[in-house]
Structure 1
């Protein structure tokens, strides 16, 4: 492979490239040793029809046994870091911190040590949607005590792995395990409670994150000097017409602001426009109190400022129209709770990817990065997920190559022209995985996984060669790609 020398599209010194996975999506071994069921284990077993191909994560990519293969792949790609998640129910099978699984501890220690031996930095996500079922039986994220349960779990993880792990994500995409889960009932835990369960989950997840951050800050940062934040998935919203500018900004607050304003804004608390609208809607519904649980001043102060960087997951965008009554939908394209009067659509030139919710608009990433800087200040931004879903097109995934190229170009423009402090980029995902409701139909992997093969053979796609070339050259100026390098 030859790196160009023309310059101009080089990433800054110290910029890091990585790839990500999540425990339930790749590990398999769902009932090995003393691991207990997670809400996703329970959900897919009880409701196989919810998954488009009636599959599950019982074996998935078999990474519980194939973790050495995953490390080898990460090494061949030249990754600076590998983001993976801990399965809470594998490390703490009873959900609580009074019993730590020796098997779970060994698995994650082996993975961490194996990565470090290859010079790859481990980045751990504490929670990627797979709550222990024993905690869901007690109310899960709608129980206010969960913030303490999560804080105890975080302390265990920091104690066991903090000497080697310097970057932590507390929660991955609360917009998904709160808003989408409770407003549709489709995702685990399969509870349908629009506008109520979702808002309880919102509040308790913010407090859980804050407690986990404070524990690290007070007990572990002096020893290990790491960084902690959460990862928010945010769609970029832009107005469909000039008349939709105001409603578009409101939509941004309902998606991005709900999980960012309490943490990253100077004043803290819920976005004021969100509080006002939900209070008004609740009153019209005949309720004496807003469905959005208030944050006390003590809780506002607990949550505010609990970050060392902004973790951003970005995939797609929407245009926003003021909705007619029959068109009202939530901030995502689903029917359910509708506290915001918008209709989401896309521009005709935006290409559809390999799943119905996914439309490609690379410029949306740069615009979102600029908006985040304007909204919350000149903070470090860590892109914790970005990638393309496609149906199984084999190894010649040139659409994914183009997706990465176009989005990395937008990241570079945001850095060079808009002076946004983006310091890292994470490809989703390292290998094909169980893609939640889409089962194994949607493929995100840089590496293809053969699910017909008991060995779950991993094979690099064209996108893996491209990404490895970008990493090696630290630049988008790449002359050619030699396919046999991986």
Structure 2
């Protein structure tokens, strides 16, 4: 998930007038209006997503090594809102067959899950492969394929082996070699059956939140420096893993390999040139610093961000810029290394330099761009403090990507809503319906959107929030040793959307009993 950068709340009436101009100018029909009869294409992929540390449990079982989240929750329990851990989580290590049964109940065609690097390579290094870890993922993959559910594997979803972190983690220039070695083990064991891979999930949250601030493990908080070193190293690591797949395994097995980024919907506070430019700077700081090296025409980091950081660095007394661009050889090596653009999208904001305050550390990437953000006071607030429901935000996000990179294939690899729990989750139902209507708006305009993965299949360990925030289509009873999963109303609604390939605003589940339809 992604974290808010904060900002004041301003009156709704002014913002909504601006939103009509900014968000609806390219849409012929009224924003937010549910238009019955529109259908998703037959080849549009519907799925759900999870991540290894958040659901698997079995944190030290069957030879698994320690990762940075294991280390954090055990050495600094106060960092987690409810002092919980992922030691057991949803116990998917032992209950993967129930997870697959839930996928069959929903009728999804694909399941996106991540692998635990330290479950496969306990020390992080490829000299010792943990066969029990390989067997667990073989079992899961085979169970999925048994029921014609396509697995899509994310190699890295934030749980770096602790031994590698002690060597500098994503700040060590050798991390790309370590990641390539890990990727080779994964491809060797699974690419005969798995045809879709994602190298890294949300590099911004790895780099900015883990190394540039203290909202994700390893909580390094090396502001203005750590996130930039990490951004450089992680791009090269991704490229190594991509080229390995593309050159060795794709010719043998077919398939695709991509990269997933967290992208907020960002719009200008006003129609002034300054606010439009603020959107561009915020885009560069939040996600284009990670995606431009792969998808832009020229490669490398965004030009304006490079110039701003160099200028700020010099003024702050640094002998060189804190953000070092790639060499021409590195740019060529990284550019084009993704078969699709994976986007995790949740929320949005309005941007303006007039909203910037001195709340950010110096140096920091937010201080480098001097842009502030705000939200409307009537955007529905989720359980997560960083998350508000911005109107038509999926469409806006798709347009941001299309305008920047052209007709790139896009998969929404995460989208969902956080609550405090409970089975009757009307806010989540409304969010999914609105998000998928917004996706239909994007399809109507010819945006190359190929699929949608709901976050998440079930409640899980929500990082520093622990179990205080729930994203699941299925509720998990953490007081029950069996970790019983119970479908929420949103699960029935999502199932109906998948089955009919339409968003029906009037659909109500006929019962609270979830069954498996024929063919699943």
TM-score normalised by L of structure 1: 0.95
1:446-465 alignment runs, 5 A limit: 446-465=473-492
Aligned residues: 476
Residue 127 of structure 2 corresponds to 98
Distance verdict in 2 for CA 1:365–1:175, change over 3 Å: same
Task: State whether structure 2 residue 58 is matched by structure 1 residue 29.
Answer: yes
CA distance in 2, matches of 1:23, 1:472: 28
- What root-mean-square deviation, in Å, do the aligned CA atoms of Structure 1 and Structure 2 show? 1.6
Residue 11 of structure 1 corresponds to 40
Q: Check conservation: 2:356, 2:371, Cα contact below 8 A.
A: no
Consecutive unaligned residues of structure 1, counting only runs of 5 or more, are 1-5
Structure 1 residue 257 displacement after superposition:
1.0
Residue 238 of structure 1 corresponds to 267
Structure 1 residue 154 displacement after superposition:
0.6
Task: State whether structure 2 residue 177 is matched by structure 1 residue 148.
Answer: yes
Task: State whether structure 2 residue 442 is matched by structure 1 residue 414.
Answer: yes
CA distance in 2, matches of 1:413, 1:325: 32
CA distance in 1, matches of 2:417, 2:367: 28
Residue 247 of structure 1 corresponds to 278
Consecutive unaligned residues of structure 2, counting only runs of 5 or more, are 1-34, 516-520
Q: Check conservation: 2:158, 2:206, Cα contact below 8 A.
A: yes
Structure 1 residue 62 displacement after superposition:
0.5
Residue 130 of structure 1 corresponds to 159
Distance verdict in 2 for CA 1:377–1:80, change over 3 Å: same
CA distance in 2, matches of 1:256, 1:92: 29
CA distance in 1, matches of 2:388, 2:507: 29
Task: State whether structure 2 residue 496 is matched by structure 1 residue 469.
Answer: yes
1:169 is paired with a residue whose SS is strand
Q: Report Cα offsets for 1:80-103 as digits up to 9, x if no partner.
A: 001110000000112111211110
2:351 is paired with a residue whose SS is strand
Structure 1 residue 13 displacement after superposition:
1.7
CA distance in 1, matches of 2:86, 2:354: 38
Residue 260 of structure 1 corresponds to 291
CA distance in 2, matches of 1:83, 1:368: 21
Distance verdict in 2 for CA 1:210–1:58, change over 3 Å: same
1:38-57 alignment runs, 5 A limit: 38-57=67-86
TM-score normalised by L of structure 2: 0.89
Residue 302 of structure 1 corresponds to 333
Structure 1 residue 325 displacement after superposition:
6.6
Q: Report Cα offsets for 1:321-356 as digits up to 9, x if no partner.
A: 2146744549xxxx8852110111101221111111
2:367 is paired with a residue whose SS is coil
CA distance in 2, matches of 1:96, 1:15: 38
Residue 276 of structure 1 corresponds to 307
CA distance in 2, matches of 1:480, 1:355: 27
2:152 is paired with a residue whose SS is strand
Residue 3 of structure 1 corresponds to none
1:261 is paired with a residue whose SS is helix
Task: Choose the corresponding residue for 2:390, options 342, 361, 373.
Answer: 361
Structure 1 residue 482 displacement after superposition:
2.6
CA distance in 1, matches of 2:430, 2:356: 39
Q: Check conservation: 1:383, 1:426, Cα contact below 8 A.
A: yes
Residue 13 of structure 2 corresponds to none
CA distance in 2, matches of 1:271, 1:383: 23
1:360 is paired with a residue whose SS is coil
2:325 is paired with a residue whose SS is coil
CA distance in 2, matches of 1:429, 1:55: 19
